[in-house]
Amino acid sequence: MRTGNFILKRKDMKAQNKIFNIVASVLILVIFSVSCSKDFLELEPYSDVSADIAISNEADMGAALNGAYGTLRNSNLFGRTLPLFGDLIADNVYISAINSNRYLDFFQVNYTVNNTNASAIWQNAYTTILRANNIINSELASSGKVDQYRAEARAIRALMYFELVKHYAKPYQVDPSGLGVPIVLTYDPKLKPERNSIAEVYAQIEDDLSKAIPDLSVDNSSGFFTSYAAKALLARLYLFKHEWSKALTTSQDIIDNSGFTLVPAQGVVDFWKRNTPRTDKVEVLFEVAFDAVQNAGIDALDYFYDQQGYGDALAADAFYVMFSATDVRRQLFLTSSPIRGDVKVVNKYPNSSSADPDEFKVLRLSEVYLTAAEAAFQSGNESLALDYLNELVAERDPAFAGYSSSGQALFNDILTERRKELAFEGQRYWDLARYNLPVNRINMSANYPGNVPLTIAADNFRRILPIPQTELDANPNIRDQQNPGY
Amino acid sequence: MKYVLMLAAILLIGFTSAFSQTVITGRVIDARDSTAALGVSVGVKGTNLGTTTDGNGAFRLSVPADAKTLVFSSAEFITREININPDRTDYSVMLERTSTALQEVVVSVAYGEQNRKKITGAVGKLQGNAVANIPMPTVEQMLQGKIAGLQSVSPSGQPGSFQQIRIRGIGSINASAEPLYVIDGVPVNSGDVSGLTNSSNLLATINANDIESISVLKDAASASIYGSRAANGVILITTKKGRAGKAVVRVDAEFGKNDIAFLPDAAVPLNREQFKELTTEGVLNIGGSPADAEDVLNSLGYNTTANYDWLDLVKRQGQQQQINASVSGGDAKTTFYLSGGYFKQMSVVIGSDFKRYSAQLSLKHNVDKHFSVGTNINISTFRQTGETESGFFRNPMLAAMALLPTQEAFNADGSPNYDPTVFYQIFNPLAIQQYDRQQNNTLKGLGSVFAEYKILPNLKLSSRYGVDYNNIEEIFYNNPFFGDAATADPGTSGAFYNNYTRLYNWVWTNLVDYNFKAWNDKLDGSVTAGYEAQKSKAYVQAANGTGVPQTTLLRYPSVATPISVGVSGSDYAFTSLLSKAQIGYLDKYILSGSIRRDGSSRFGSDTRYGTFWSVGAAWNVDQENFLQGIKFLSALKLRASYGVNGNAGIGNYDSRALYSFNGSYNGLPASVPGSVGNPGLTWEQNKPFDIGLEAGVFKNRVTVELDWYIRKTERLLLDEPLSQTSGFNSFKNNIGAMENKGFEITLNAIPVQTRNFTWQIGFNAAWNKNKITKLRDGVNEIINDPYIQQVGKDVQSIYTYLWAGANPETGDPEWYTDASKGSRTSDFGAAERAIYGSLSPKGFGGVNTSLTYKFVSLSAQLNYQYGNYVFDSWAFLFLGDGAFGSLNQYTKQLQRWQKPGDVTTVPRYDFFNSTGSNINSTRYFNKGDYLRLRNVTLSVDLPQNIISKLHLTKLSLYVRGTNLWTKAFDDQITIDPEQPINGTSDIQFYIPKSVTFGVNIQL
**Distance between A388 CA and the closest CA of chain B, angstroms:** 33
Q: Which residues of B612-642 are buried (b: 16+ CB within 10 A; e: fewer)?
A: bbbbbbbbbbbbeeeeeeeeeebbbbebbbb
Which residues partner with B708 through β-bridges?
B691, B743
pLDDT tier, A1 (very low <50, low <70, confident <90, very high otherwise): very low
At B563, which helix (H) or strand (E)? strand B561-585
Residues, chain A: 486
What is the amino acid identity at position A477? N
The closest alpha carbon to B287, from A107, A313, A88, A453, belongs to A453
CA distances from B854 to B76, B701, B757, B975 (A): 15, 19, 6, 42
| A360 contacts A288 by C-beta, under 8 angstroms | yes
Query: What's residue B127's pLDDT?
Result: 86
Number of DSSP helices (H) and strands (E) in chain B, helices first: 9, 54
CA distance A410 to A377: 8
Average pLDDT over every residue of A398-417 = 96
Residue B342 has pLDDT above 80, yes or no: yes
SS (H, E, C) chain A: CCCCCCCCCHHHHHHHHHHHHHHHHHHHHHHHHHHHHHHHCCCCCCCEEEHHHCCCCHHHHHHHHHHHHHHCCCCCCCCCHHHHHHHHCCCCEEECCCCCCCCHHHHCCCCCCCCHHHHHHHHHHHHHHHHHHHHHCCCCCCCHHHHHHHHHHHHHHHHHHHHHHHHHCCCCCCCCCCECCCCCCCCCCCCCCCCCEHHHHHHHHHHHHHHHHHHCCCCCCCCCCCHHHHHHHHHHHHHHHCCHHHHHHHHHHHHHHCCCECCCHHHHHHHHHCCCCCCCCECEEEEECCCCCCCCHHHCHHHHHCCCCCCCEEECHHHHCCCCCCCHHHHHEECCECCCECCEEECCCCCCCCCCCCCEEEEEHHHHHHHHHHHHHHCCCHHHHHHHHHHHHHCCCCCCCCCCCCHHHHHHHHHHHHHHHCCCCCCHHHHHHCCCCCEECCCCCCCCCCCCCCEECCCCHHHCCCCCHHHHHHCHHHHHHCCCCC
CA distance B20 to B32: 37
Residue A4 has pLDDT above 50, yes or no: no
Q: Is residue B882 part of a domain?
A: no
**Distance between B538 CA and the closest CA of chain A, angstroms:** 11
Contacts with B676 from chain A: Cβ below 8 Å: 189
Give the mean pLDDT of chain B: 90
- Burial (CB < 10 A; 0-12, 13-18, 19+), residue B289, is exposed
Average pLDDT over every residue of B46-65 = 80
pLDDT tier, B91 (very low <50, low <70, confident <90, very high otherwise): confident
Residues B191, B65 share a domain = no
CA distance A312 to A299: 12
Average pLDDT over every residue of A420-428 = 97
| A292 contacts B487 by C-beta, under 8 angstroms | no
Residue A359 has pLDDT above 70, yes or no: yes
Query: What's residue B205's pLDDT?
Result: 92
Q: Is residue A46 part of a domain?
A: no
Residues, chain B: 1003
Domain boundary among B44, B76, B98: B98
Nearest to B653 among A1, A45, A298 (CB): A45
Q: How many domains is chain A built from? A: 1
Which residues partner with B215 through β-bridges?
B125, B236
pLDDT tier, B892 (very low <50, low <70, confident <90, very high otherwise): very high
CA distance B4 to A158: 61
Residues of the domain holding B18: 2-98
Q: Is residue B184 part of a domain?
A: yes
| B500 contacts B540 by C-beta, under 8 angstroms | yes
Query: What's residue A448's pLDDT?
Result: 67
**Distance between A363 CA and the closest CA of chain B, angstroms:** 17
Average pLDDT over every residue of B766-795 = 90
Among the listed ranges B95-104, B687-696, B815-824, which one has the minimum average pLDDT value? B95-104
The closest alpha carbon to B961, from B986, B998, B906, belongs to B998
| B153 contacts B138 by C-beta, under 8 angstroms | no
CA distance B421 to B424: 5
Query: What's residue B433's pLDDT?
Result: 93
Among the listed ranges A266-280, B159-173, B404-418, B937-951, which one has the minimum average pLDDT value? B937-951
Among the listed ranges A353-362, B29-38, B690-699, which one has the minimum average pLDDT value? B29-38
Contact at CB, A46 and B570, closer than 8 angstroms: yes
Domain boundary among B67, B98, B129: B98
| A98 contacts B887 by C-beta, under 8 angstroms | no
Query: What's residue A26's pLDDT?
Result: 58
CA distances from A451 to A109, B893, B908 (A): 10, 20, 13
Nearest to B667 among A67, A134, A291 (CB): A291
Q: Residues near B754 by Cβ (< 8 Å), separated by ≥ 6?
A: none
Query: What's residue B1's pLDDT?
Result: 41
pLDDT cut 90: percent of chain A above it = 79
Average pLDDT over every residue of A412-427 = 97
pLDDT tier, A449 (very low <50, low <70, confident <90, very high otherwise): low
pLDDT tier, A30 (very low <50, low <70, confident <90, very high otherwise): low
Q: Is residue A294 part of a domain?
A: no
| A106 contacts A87 by C-beta, under 8 angstroms | no
CA distance A61 to A56: 7
* Residues 18 through 57 of chain A touching chain B, CB cutoff 8 Å: 18-19, 21-23, 25-26, 28-30, 32-34, 36-38, 40-43, 45-52, 54-55
Query: What's residue A25's pLDDT?
Result: 62
Residue B695 has pLDDT above 70, yes or no: yes
Nearest to A29 among B458, B510, B886 (CB): B510
CA distance B750 to B98: 10
The CATH number of the domain holding residue B423 is 2.40.170.20
Average pLDDT over every residue of B172-195 = 92
Residue A3 has pLDDT above 50, yes or no: no
Residue A244 has pLDDT above 80, yes or no: yes
Residue A444 has pLDDT above 80, yes or no: no
Q: How many domains is chain B built from? A: 2
| Tens-place pLDDT, residues A102-161 | 998 899 898 888 889 999 999 999 999 999 999 999 999 999 999 999 999 999 999 999
Query: What's residue B502's pLDDT?
Result: 96
Query: What's residue B341's pLDDT?
Result: 96
CA distance B514 to B554: 61
Residue B13 has pLDDT above 60, yes or no: no
Give the global pTM: 0.86
The CATH number of the domain holding residue B28 is 2.60.40.1120
Residue B7 has pLDDT above 60, yes or no: no
How far from the centroid of its chain's Cα atoms is residue A13's Cα? 81
Average pLDDT over every residue of A161-190 = 96
Average pLDDT over every residue of A225-240 = 98
- Cα Dmax for chain B: 105
Nearest to B725 among A22, A98, A126 (CB): A126
CA distances from A388 to A365, B458, B478 (A): 11, 100, 50
Among the listed ranges A445-454, A476-485, B72-81, B90-99, which one has the minimum average pLDDT value? A445-454
pLDDT cut 90: percent of chain B above it = 68
How is residue B680 annotated by DSSP?
T
What is the amino acid identity at position B369? K
- For B810, the 3-state DSSP assignment is coil
CA distance B709 to B767: 10
How is residue B315 annotated by DSSP?
B
Q: Is residue A42 part of a domain?
A: no
Q: What is the ipTM of this complex?
A: 0.90
Query: What's residue B756's pLDDT?
Result: 87
Which residues partner with B975 through β-bridges?
none
Residues B375, B520 share a domain = yes
A448 → chain B, closest CA residue: B912
Q: Is residue B997 part of a domain?
A: yes
Query: What's residue B393's pLDDT?
Result: 85
Q: Residues near A468 by Cβ (< 8 Å), separated by ≥ 6?
A: A113, A115, A118, A119, A122, A123, B724
pLDDT tier, B628 (very low <50, low <70, confident <90, very high otherwise): confident
CA distance B407 to B78: 64
Residue B239 has pLDDT above 80, yes or no: yes
- For B629, the 3-state DSSP assignment is coil
| B179 contacts B94 by C-beta, under 8 angstroms | no
Give the mean pLDDT of chain A: 91
- For B331, the 3-state DSSP assignment is coil
| Tens-place pLDDT, residues B641-664 | 999 999 999 999 999 999 999 889
Q: Is residue A130 part of a domain?
A: yes
| B871 contacts B924 by C-beta, under 8 angstroms | yes
At B601, which helix (H) or strand (E)? none
Residues B425, B557 share a domain = yes
Q: Is residue A476 part of a domain?
A: yes
| B65 contacts B22 by C-beta, under 8 angstroms | yes
Q: Is residue A9 part of a domain?
A: no
How is residue B121 annotated by DSSP?
S
Average pLDDT over every residue of B745-773 = 94
B458 → chain A, closest CA residue: A5
Query: What's residue A10's pLDDT?
Result: 41
CA distance B917 to B912: 12
Nearest to A126 among B456, B652, B724 (CB): B724
User: Which of the listed ranges A193-202, A290-299, B598-607, B659-668 does the model predict with the highest average pLDDT?
Assistant: A193-202
| B995 contacts B257 by C-beta, under 8 angstroms | yes
The CATH number of the domain holding residue A173 is 1.25.40.390
How far from the centroid of its chain's Cα atoms is residue B294's Cα? 51
Contact at CB, A66 and B668, closer than 8 angstroms: yes
Q: Is residue A304 part of a domain?
A: no
Higher pLDDT, B714 or B80: B714
pLDDT tier, B10 (very low <50, low <70, confident <90, very high otherwise): very low
Contact at CB, B676 and A189, closer than 8 angstroms: yes
Contact at CB, B724 and A470, closer than 8 angstroms: yes
pLDDT tier, A22 (very low <50, low <70, confident <90, very high otherwise): low
| B400 contacts B216 by C-beta, under 8 angstroms | no
Residues of the domain holding A201: 58-288+311-354+363-445+454-481
Interface test with A, best of B914, B915, B917, B920 (most A CBs within 10 A): B914
| B174 contacts B982 by C-beta, under 8 angstroms | no
Q: Is residue B913 part of a domain?
A: no
Domain boundary among B71, B98, B125: B98
- Helix, strand, coil % in chain B, rounded to nearest 5: 10, 50, 40
Residues B208, B87 share a domain = no
Among the listed ranges B42-51, B333-342, B639-648, which one has the minimum average pLDDT value? B42-51
| Tens-place pLDDT, residues B909-964 | 998 887 889 889 999 999 999 999 999 999 998 887 888 888 888 899 999 999 99
pLDDT cut 70: percent of chain B above it = 97
Interface test with A, best of B723, B735, B784, B812 (most A CBs within 10 A): B723
Q: Is residue A49 part of a domain?
A: no
Residue B20 has pLDDT above 70, yes or no: no
Residues B147, B92 share a domain = no
Residues B252, B156 share a domain = yes
Angle at B859 (CA atoms; ends B858, B860), nearest 5 degrees:
135
Among the listed ranges A474-483, B54-63, B753-762, which one has the minimum average pLDDT value? B54-63
Q: Are strands B318-330 and B757-774 parallel, antiparallel or unpaired?
A: unpaired
**Distance between B781 CA and the closest CA of chain A, angstroms:** 9
CA distance B513 to B581: 10
CA distance B408 to B387: 21
**Distance between B484 CA and the closest CA of chain A, angstroms:** 8
Average pLDDT over every residue of A417-431 = 97
Query: What's residue A20's pLDDT?
Result: 52
Q: Residues near B178 by Cβ (< 8 Å), separated by ≥ 6?
A: B164, B165, B190, B191, B232, B649
